[in-house]
């Protein structure tokens, strides 16, 4: 069936130059189109298939869990739901309480609502505004879309809200402008001063803004934000939806900075390696305790949140990551393979190369140059993530050395041929 005749609503396929891929199956790090062509998925789907496709351990866990308990109302308790919350709190450093949602955006919406309600519990209901960063992506629905930087993975016509303040981050990859820690701090300081700390509930931030251009901030970035939050009585929400579950070379990316303890952490995508819709919002105990006071309970039910099958799959993900040493493997892959992309810096037409762990970005002088590189890689059998003048790369954590060699060699040749 021609895509124009399908009842499926697909915005992207109607954009100029969009390459339509009809995917029939997938295994490991590879997609198979209906034509039989194999494509190395250098984007891990939508940055979520961390453990690869057709992972037999995850499939078996899903089947066993489905037979045992196909569903459990969020109002009841089920073993995997509680076990996963305990495991996530432990990996965050302990002392967190976990609520579930179904998407990363929903986890961020939940985080924002919790932050606002917390300040209401403290007798400060005016603290509702949220500071976010211009190139951030926190989701495409509701409050998450307001927190996302204008135009990042969403229509530029999306409604905005005056309760969300966007400040400049470490890099504007469209303009090619970088900022140091002092400049970033000055921008956040100015936003707080203008709005008044008595109106601000939280700062929400990604450790690495992957969707916005793989923006790797300078060392001390999160520690600086944590300090500002303490000084002005704000909450720090760290969005680990893309960054988390080993993709940065630490289990959670904020853990690269010693001493940083977020008030709220959101996660999704890699939590189940995309084998089930599940996300989570972890809240520091001091915040949670205010919701235990009579009359201040969250009283919020999301039918599919904390689905027992999804939680069992997530527990299996944690088991596999530990068993196979995937966090260490990501660090080794970055050192042995992906960091070699830095050698491309200085290539005519290529403005910058940035990355950490399995998250890397190439910033070009023009959209045409990025499109040419993307097309060459696709011809060679590699599916990249491209937006405007940027190419983003985040292969599955289970990609082999041979696959990463193939990715690196093809990408380097494509960049040098496009100059």
Identify the pLDDT of residue 4.
Answer: 60
Q: For residue 154, name the pLDDT band (cuts at 50, 70, 90).
A: confident
Indicate the CATH number for domain 3-54+325-418.
3.90.1150.10
pLDDT value at residue 242: 98
Do 353 and 362 form a contact (C-beta atoms < 8 A)?
yes
Choose between 157 and 113: higher pLDDT.
113
Of 269, 250, 300, nearest to 111 by C-alpha is: 300
For residue 246 the two structure tokens come to: 């080993």
What are the tokens at 416?
């040098």
Cα Rg of the chain (Å, integer): 21
What percent of the chain lies above the pLDDT cut of 90?
90
Residues of the chain with CATH 3.40.640.10: 58-323
Angle, helices 308-323/79-92, rounded to nearest 10 degrees? 40
Q: pLDDT at residue 1 above 50?
A: no
For residue 73, the tally of other CB atoms under 10 A from its CB is 10
Q: What is the mean pLDDT of the chain?
A: 95
Only one residue has tokens 């601000």, namely 200
Instruction: Give the pLDDT of residue 3.
Output: 58
Give CATH 3.90.1150.10 domain extents, the chain: 3-54+325-418
Alpha helices in 291-392 (DSSP H): 308-323, 326-336, 367-380
Average pLDDT over residues 78-83: 97
Q: What pLDDT shows up at residue 379?
A: 97
Angle, helices 326-336/308-323, rounded to nearest 10 degrees: 60
For residue 17, the model assigns a pLDDT of 64
Q: What is the pLDDT confidence band of residue 211, given thresholds at 50, 70 and 90?
A: very high
Query: How, if at all, do strands 38-41 and 171-172 pair?
Result: unpaired
Beta strands in 7-95 (DSSP E): 23-27, 30-33, 38-41
Are 72 and 308 a contacting pair, CB within 8 Å? Answer: yes
What pLDDT was estimated at residue 349? Answer: 95
Whether pLDDT at 329 is above 90: yes
Instruction: Average the pLDDT over 29-39 and give the result.
Output: 97
Q: Is the pLDDT of residue 85 over 80?
A: yes
Average pLDDT over residues 313-339: 97
β-partners of residue 130 are 164, 202
Angle at 229 between CA 226 and CA 232, to 5 degrees: 150
Cα separation, 100 vs 81, in Å, equals: 9
Residue 13 pLDDT? 61
pLDDT classification of 159: cutoffs 50, 70, 90: confident
What whole-number distance in Å separates Cα of residue 88 and Cα of residue 259?
Answer: 18
pLDDT digits (tens, 9 = 90+) for 129-153: 999 999 999 999 999 999 999 878 7
- Decide if pLDDT at 276 tops 60: yes
So what's the pLDDT on residue 16?
64
Check pLDDT > 70 for residue 15. no
In the predicted model, is pLDDT for residue 102 greater than 50? yes
pLDDT confidence bin for 201, thresholds 50/70/90: very high
Q: Domain 58-323's class?
A: alpha beta
pLDDT of residue 156 exceeding 80: no
């Amino acid at each position: 069936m021609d895509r124009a005749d399908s009842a499926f609503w697909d915005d992207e396929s109607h954009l100029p130059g969009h390459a339509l891929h009809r995917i029939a199956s997938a295994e490991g790090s590879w997609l198979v189109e209906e034509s039989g062509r194999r494509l190395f998925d250098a984007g891990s789907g939508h940055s979520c298939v961390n453990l690869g496709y057709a992972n037999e351990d995850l499939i078996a866990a899903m089947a066993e869990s489905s037979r045992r308990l196909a569903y459990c109302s969020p109002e009841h308790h089920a073993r995997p739901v509680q076990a996963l919350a305990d495991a996530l709190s432990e990996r965050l450093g302990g002392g967190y309480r976990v609520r579930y949602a179904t998407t990363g955006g929903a986890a961020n919406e939940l985080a924002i609502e919790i932050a606002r309600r917390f300040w209401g519990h403290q007798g400060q209901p005016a603290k509702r505004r949220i500071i976010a960063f211009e190139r951030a992506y926190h989701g495409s629905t509701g409050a998450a879309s307001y927190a996302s930087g204008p135009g990042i993975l969403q229509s530029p016509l999306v409604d905005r809200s005056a309760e969300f303040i966007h400040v400049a981050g470490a890099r504007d990859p469209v303009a090619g402008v970088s900022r140091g820690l002092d400049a970033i701090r000055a921008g956040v300081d100015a936003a707080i001063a203008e709005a008044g700390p008595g109106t601000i509930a939280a700062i929400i931030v990604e450790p690495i803004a992957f969707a916005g251009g793989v923006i790797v901030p300078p060392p001390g970035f999160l520690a600086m934000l944590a300090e500002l939050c303490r000084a002005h009585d704000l909450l720090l929400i760290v969005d680990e939806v893309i960054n988390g579950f080993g993709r940065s070379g630490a289990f959670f990316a904020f853990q690269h900075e010693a001493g940083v303890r977020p008030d709220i952490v959101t996660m999704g995508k890699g939590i189940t390696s995309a084998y089930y819709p599940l996300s989570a919002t972890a809240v520091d105990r001091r915040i949670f305790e205010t919701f235990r006071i009579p009359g201040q309970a969250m009283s919020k039910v999301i039918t599919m949140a904390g689905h027992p099958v999804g939680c069992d799959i997530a527990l299996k993900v944690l088991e596999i990551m530990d068993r196979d040493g995937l966090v260490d493997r990501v660090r080794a892959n970055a050192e042995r393979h992906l960091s070699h992309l830095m050698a491309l810096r200085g290539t005519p037409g290529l403005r910058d190369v940035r990355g950490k762990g399995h998250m890397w970005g190439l910033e070009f002088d023009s959209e045409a140059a990025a499109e040419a590189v993307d097309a060459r890689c696709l011809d060679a059998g590699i599916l990249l993530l491209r937006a405007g003048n940027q190419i983003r790369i985040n292969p599955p954590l289970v990609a082999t050395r041979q696959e990463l060699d193939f990715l690196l060699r093809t990408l380097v040749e494509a960049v040098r041929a496009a100059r």
